[in-house]
Each structure stands twice: as C-alpha cells, then as structure tokens.
Amino acid sequence: ETTEIFIVPIMDVDRVATGDGGKEANPRDHNRDWTAEPVYPEVAAAQARLLALVKDGRLKLFLDLHNPAPGDKHPFFFVGPEELLSPEGKVKRAQFMEQAFAHLTGPLAAEKRLRTTGASYHPLFRQISGMWVDANGNPDTVAACLETSWNTPHSTTAGYRDVGQKLAQAAAAYLKHR
C-alpha cells in the first residue's frame, strides 16, 4: 500500500509575517474557525480536502502543529476528550501515541501524558481543528495537535527539524502496522 501525505505548512501567513501568533485574533482565531461556516477561506479549503478523504475512507491521521505558552518547556500532545471518540478511534489513538512517545525523544522529547482540550480549556473547543476532525473523520481517524516548545535552548531550526523527522518516523511506524 501507499500513503499520501498532505502538508499545509503555514495557515495564518499574515500573522506569521507580523510575528503575532494569532491567539484570540479578530474576527476569530484561525484554530477556532473549524465550523460549518469558517471565516477564513484557507480553513474552508482544508475542511473540503479532509471531507473528500473521509468520504473515500482515507483519512487515517491528522496532525496539527502549534507552539505552546512560553512556560511549556517540553512538547506535548493536545487531543480531544476520549468520550468523543468511537471505540476504534480510542484504540487507534493509543496506538499512534505509543509510536509518538517512542520516537519523540531527545532534548525536545514529548511529554508522556496527553493534555485534553475541552470546555475547561476554551468554550469554543469544538471549533478547534482536531475536534472538528474527531467529529467529522472516519471512526478510525486519529487527530492530535503537537505543541512544540519554542522557548528552550533546543528550539532552533535543527531542533525543530529533529522533532519533524521523529514525528514522521512515528507516523510511518503507526501507519505501517495499521
């Protein structure tokens, strides 16, 4: 079998250019625009592509990459509440996380516990990309957000390249054994 990978490198280009992370942006944070009627055309385009993959039963893994707060010195995964997943989705998430934790080692090693997004995180949590994928994906789709620390001595191009390579290795190992 083959795997097709789609990468959307930077969704909020204007905010990157100004050095603003886009949190709580007006009219809406890009990552809280995953609704039935998104404000941003790039979110709508990503949703359309994802729904086409879902229709064909091909959406297996969705990874969103972000940077956490300045005090977060280790990368971690944000995921949706487990009760929103199908039984198969719970198993698949656990299998992917096992690979992610095994591969994401070194100075920017991922925390071995998941952080769950939900109403206590933000009232619009269901409008976050991963939650949208949990709600609209296939029963076996895994959605997760890797928050990679930016305020450490290892938060460099080389450090991020290492995290990216290890994340790709984790995804490959997970998909190989599906």
Sign of CA dihedral 33, 121, 126, 149: positive
| pLDDT confidence of residue 105 | 97
Percent of the chain with pLDDT over 90: 67
Phi first, then psi, for residue 128 (nearest 5°) are: -85, 145
Q: What is the pLDDT of residues 79-124, one digit of tens each?
A: 999 988 999 999 999 999 999 999 999 999 999 999 998 777 777 7
Mean predicted confidence (pLDDT) in 156-160: 96
How many C-beta atoms lie closer than 10 Å to residue 178's C-beta? Answer: 13
Is the pTM higher than 0.85? The answer reads yes
